[in-house]
Amino acid sequence: MRSDGRRGNPEPGFARRPPKYTLIGSTLRDRILTGHYRPEMQLPSESALQAEFGVSRVTIRLALDVLRRTGFVESRQGKGYLVQPMRALHDLGRLRGFGEIMAAVGVEAHSIVVDIVEGPPSTEVLRALHLDRGAEVVTIRRVRMAGGVPLSFDVSHFPVDIGRQLAKLDLARSDIFVLIEDVLDVGLGFADLTLDVGAADDDAAAHIDVRKGEPLLRITRLTYDIKRRPIDFEYLFARPGAFKFGVRVPRG
C-alpha cells in the first residue's frame, strides 16, 4: 500500500514481466525450433529442468503444459515429454494464410520462392478462375517453412492483374493473403477447400524432402474476393503429419 492510501499499480508505460513459466516455455520452444531438441527426442526430466532454471516443479509443469497445448511436445506415460514433429493447425472454419496459422502458436514462418511464371494455365485452373479461353495466369511456387522445416509445397495461380502485382512484393516473408488485403487493397471473402491424398511427384518430392510416390496430403483451395471473384487457385502438398485440421460443426 502506498503512503497516499492508493494501491501500488505500475506507472503508465511500465512493462510487467511475463510469468516465469512463460519465459521457460519460450526458451524450450526456441530449443525445439533450432533443432537442439529434435522430433521424438525426450525433453530433460522435470527435476533436471527445475534445477536448470531454479524454479519450482509447479512452474516447470506449467511451462511444459504450454508446450503441450501448442503441439510442440506430447506427454507419454513412462517416457516424459517427447518433442513432436512441426505441424500446422489449420482451422477449416477460418480463412487464414500459412504465416497466420503458425503465428498463432508463436512460430515464425517464411517461404522459399521457387519460381514465378506467367503463361497459359491448365483447363482446371482456367475454369476455377472463371477466365476466358486464351487468358494467361501468374503461377507462384513456394516452399513453406516453419522452424527450419519444409511443411508444404504450394502452387498458386492468379489472374494476371493480381499475380503481376504480387510478383513484385516480398513473398518470402509475407503471407499472400496479407499482401492481397493490405497492399493490393483487395478484400478477401471466402474459400472453397478440398482435401485428398495422392502420390508425390518429382516436384513435390524434391521440395518437401520425401520420396517420389510417397503418399502426400493435397489441399486444393479456391479463394474469392469480397465481390465473389475467384482470385487465387492453389494446390498445397504436404506430408500427412504436417497439418492438423479442426472445424466446429453445429448441430442441425
The reported pLDDT for the residue numbered 229 is 96
Judged on CB neighbours under 10 Å (0-12, 13-18, 19+), 97 is buried
The reply to whether domains 20-83 and 88-246 share a CATH topology is no
Residues 6+ apart with CB under 8 A from 33: 107, 147, 148
Whole-number Å distance between alpha carbons of 173 and 179? 10
Pairing of strands 88-91, 243-246: parallel
C-alpha cell at 63: 511451462
The reported pLDDT for the residue numbered 102 is 60
C-alpha cell at 8: 501500488
**Domain formed by 88-246, architecture:** 3-Layer(aba) Sandwich (3.40)
Is CATH 1.10.10.10 what the domain over 20-83 is classified as, yes or no? yes
The reported pLDDT for the residue numbered 223 is 93
Are 231 and 210 spatial neighbours (Cβ–Cβ below 8 Å)? Answer: no
The reported pLDDT for the residue numbered 1 is 44
Q: Within 10 Å of residue 251's Cβ, how many Cβ atoms?
A: 3
Split the chain (252 residues) into runs of 10 and give each run's mean pLDDT. 49 66 85 77 90 92 85 80 70 59 63 94 96 95 81 92 96 90 93 85 85 86 93 88 57 58
Whole-number Å distance between alpha carbons of 153 and 138? 17
Any idea where the domains of the chain sit in the sequence? 20-83, 88-246
The reported pLDDT for the residue numbered 88 is 58
DSSP 24-65: HHHHHHHHHHTTSS-TTPBPPPHHHHHHHHT--HHHHHHHHH
C-alpha cell at 52: 536448470
The reported pLDDT for the residue numbered 167 is 95
